[in-house]
Amino acid sequence: MTGALRIALLVSLSAAVVPAWAGCSGAPLPADFARAQSLESTDPDRARMLYDALDVRCKSERLAHDDCALTAVRLAELHQSSRRWHEAEEAWLRAAATTTRPATAARALQRAADLAHVELHDDATADALAWRVVEKHPEELAADDALKLAIRIDEPRDWQALAARLAALYPRVVRFDVGDNVLYERGLLLARHERAAEAIAIFDTLADDYAHSGLRDDGLWRAAELLRAAGDFEGALKRLRRILSTRKDAIITGSYNYLQLDDAQLLIGRIYLDDLHDPARAAEAFQLLVDDYPESVLRDDGLFELARARKEQRNLPAACKALARLCKQFPDGNRVRAARALMQELACT
């Protein structure tokens, strides 16, 4: 199938709104389908033959409960496992064109796009499929993966055109699940191409407009990195404190566990110590990391940095105490060697 024909096939996609695809409905499957499914791991060739027979039936009749689309999905999986890339791509496209479920259509198109890009090296088709998922199915999870693929393909071609496309797309998807992803990816794109001020503004908008997004704190972290690199240390600290503010809510609700909370705490201390030359504030930040983040894998880093801060304060007993605690609590940590060298330098006893 040519690239143009593959793209043309997309026009026939259904727009009905029904639940996701990853499994059958509660209704019984056709006997041949159930038989094929049972043979997938033991006799994949026989399973494929049974699915092919069902696929032929689907050209003249529609099986109940979206089973024609599910047949195409199973064929696509079997073709991929056998490295029959073209057949797999065609089956994914049939699934997208046959299904009555938007989630199935979106995921099938996204899988076809990945296949076209990675295995068939057909980026024209892959790009068209990926953008179709994002633009036609912005409410589906597959749109997030499709967006990343479209950016990976389009950025080397013309990153400015890509940035403009993302900016134009955003107002259309702002209320859908992919909206925060479009905003975040545009910020990353601009940051990669030295448009830091615009990227920071976008990350701030993400934090303001998507308070419960999983990308909110990632955007604030990126903004903090960009601001620190530009020498705006107070601006960086402001974004990091916004990340840490979620920890206060978590203590109240017991529901929040953002992985970069301890990273933010550590970076605050390093900014105070290395950029603002305020070892007292740095020591407070590092002490908080060490004492208030019992599950953090960065506590040994926090103790080492605390020792550095105490050294800058000329409080050598406190520096040695932090280093001794590090060696005792984290004997296999990645900071032990550096800690022992600093203990020797400070003549710790």
pLDDT tens digits for range 295-346: 899 999 999 999 999 999 999 999 999 999 999 999 999 999 999 999 999 9
pLDDT digits (tens, 9 = 90+) for 228-267: 999 999 999 999 999 998 765 554 433 344 567 999 999 9
Report residue 40's pLDDT band, with 50, 70 and 90 as the boundaries: confident
Q: Which pLDDT does position 10 carry in this prediction?
A: 37
Local confidence band at 220 (pLDDT 50, 70, 90 cut-offs): very high
Average pLDDT over residues 69-82: 93
Cβ-count burial 228-244 (b if 16+ within 10 Å, e if not):
beeebbebbbebbebbb
Q: What is the mean pLDDT of residues 84-89?
A: 97
Q: What is the mean pLDDT of residues 118-137?
A: 98
pLDDT, mean of residues 170-178:
96
pLDDT of residue 14: 33
Q: What is the pLDDT of residues 43-68, one digit of tens each?
A: 988 988 988 888 888 888 887 888 89
Q: How far is CA 227 from the centre of its chain?
A: 23
List the domain boundaries for the chain. Answer: 278-349
Q: What is the pTM of this model?
A: 0.82
pLDDT score of 70 more than 80: yes
Question: What's the sign of the alpha-carbon dihedral 166, 167, 173, 175?
Answer: positive
Q: What is the mean pLDDT of the chain?
A: 89
CA distance 85 to 325: 57
Percent share of the chain, pLDDT over 90: 74
**DSSP string spanning 205-226?**
HHHHH-TT-TTHHHHHHHHHHH
What's the confidence (pLDDT) of residue 258?
55
Contacts 24+ apart (CB under 8 A), 252-258: 258/217
**Which of 136, 140, 89, 142 lies closest to 116 in space, CA to CA?**
89
17-33 per-position pLDDT tens digit:
233 333 433 344 567 78
Instruction: Evaluate if residue 118 carries a pLDDT over 50.
Output: yes
255's enclosing H/E stretch is: none
Distant-in-sequence, close-in-space partners of 153: CB < 8 Å, separation ≥ 6: 117, 123, 126, 127, 130
Give me the pLDDT at residue 256, please. 42
Q: Is the pLDDT of residue 222 over 80?
A: yes
* Residues with Cβ within 8 Å of residue 132, at least 6 apart in sequence: 10, 13, 109
Token code pair at residue 338: 């550096």
3-state secondary structure of 139: coil
Report residue 295: phi and psi, to 5°.
Answer: -95, 0
Supply the pLDDT for residue 35.
Answer: 85
